[in-house]
Amino acid sequence: MTPKNIKIQCPLPHATEDTIRLAHGGGGHLMQTLIHEIFLQAFSNPFLNSLQDGAVLPSQDGHLVMTTDSYVVHPLFFPGGDIGSLAVHGTINDLAMMGANPLYLSAGFILEEGLSIDTLKRVVSSMAKTAQACGVHIVCGDTKVVDRGKGDQIFINTTGLGVIPSSVDIGPHRITPGDRMILSGDLGRHGMAVLSKREGLTFSGDIASDSAPLHDVVMDLIGRGLSIHCLRDLTRGGLASALNELASTAQVSMTIDESQIPVSESVRGACEILGLDPLYVANEGRCVLFLPLADVDKALSILQSHAISALAVEIGEAHPLSSNHTAQVILRTPYGTHRILELLSGDQLPRIC
């Protein structure tokens, strides 16, 4: 007899061949089919095709940089992107913000029982195409399957490996009073694109995510000899949160000019309707740069020559700490007034990356 508090679950529940089963994560025939017919077929490269527990990679000149991130965006597909392309772009951008040229990614998938195989193929195909377009290889990975109701279709973890040239030193520790800030493009499109799709909202004008890789433009800036002190991509919490984090780490204050910050009319209108501030809305293809005044014009010229950063603009500067020794981010409004941009106490838009 089976004790009443023990639940027996068949590893091969009734399901069609078109959905993920628990057995797809069990190490047997279905898992091998999943690996070979979906992941290997999409991500094929010499490092991955060896089917070892890890990837043996060639040595590199410079400093190795590694980053990792997990993606739980809902819905999986949204205007301008999907969870697969987002996972590649997001991790590549984290490497690029340190001045690294991205080379390799790992990919871990947590799949929910009942997920459509066609949906998985669509996500994996998007991820493969995005990685190829960005010039990176997905060299190792992992798959787990969880019970129905214990996940939300697909979660993806990606770890990225890149190389920083030995002469490059980029980070918050280099931010100096007097540094100018450049914003690489308009704000708020990713967060509003995901929210509109999730909630079935329609706004005037099409809003598509800005999800895109930033490494090419960063490598161009570095290759032209600019003295970039710091870079930061503007993901969860948007521009305001990123600047607050950097001001606190670098122990400086910052002033930005609201009239210089580009926000599309469709995003601005959607934010006004929903009571959101575009300065706090997530982006996935935007960054802020800190650099000396002498390099601003050259940096803007380079940024504006790339489609992803064609709207780049100088927005403010860093200052010594205020008299109360508090690192603050101050917004100068078009009306000549000032307000302090605080960190959010919560999350305006959950599950957007």
By the 10 Å C-beta count (0-12 exposed, 13-18 middle, 19+ buried), 148 is classed as middle
Angle at the Cα of 340 from the Cα atoms of 339 and 345, rounded to 5 degrees: 130
CATH superfamily, domain 22-164, is: PurM-like, N-terminal domain (3.30.1330.10)
Domain 172-340 has CATH 3.90.650.10: yes
Per-residue tokens: 56: 């043996």
* DSSP secondary structure of 121-150: HHHHHHHHHHHHHHT-EEEEEEEEEE-TTS
Among candidates 234, 237, 317, 328, which has minimal Cα distance to 277? 237
Domain regions of the chain by residue span:
22-164, 172-340
Residue in this structure with the two tokens 């984090």, named with its chain if needed: 245
**Is the CB of residue 283 less than 8 Å from the CB of residue 191?**
yes
Task: Report how far residue 282's alpha carbon sits from residue 285's, in angstroms, rounded to the nearest whole number.
Answer: 10
User: 75: cis peptide before it, omega within 30°?
Assistant: yes
Question: Which one-letter DSSP state was computed for residue 29?
Answer: H
Residues 6+ apart with CB under 8 A from 82: 76, 122, 123, 126
Pairing of strands 81-82, 253-257: unpaired
Task: Report how far residue 285's alpha carbon sits from residue 309's, in angstroms, rounded to the nearest whole number.
Answer: 9
Per-residue tokens: 198: 């999730």
Q: With b meaning 16 or more CB within 10 Å and e meaning fewer, what string describes 8-17?
A: eeeeeeeeee
pTM, 2 dp: 0.92
**Is the CB of residue 92 less than 8 Å from the CB of residue 126?**
no
Task: Report how far residue 271's alpha carbon sits from residue 165's, in angstroms, rounded to the nearest whole number.
Answer: 40
> Digits of tens for pLDDT over the chain (353 positions)?
555 665 555 555 544 579 999 989 888 889 899 999 999 999 999 999 998 889 999 999 999 999 999 999 999 999 999 999 999 999 999 999 999 999 999 999 999 999 999 999 999 999 999 999 999 999 999 999 999 999 999 999 999 999 999 999 999 999 999 999 999 999 999 999 999 999 888 887 789 999 999 999 999 999 999 999 999 999 999 999 999 999 999 999 999 999 999 999 999 999 999 999 999 999 999 999 999 999 999 999 999 999 999 999 999 999 999 777 789 999 999 998 999 999 887 767 788 88
Strand ranges, E, within 258-328: 287-291, 313-319
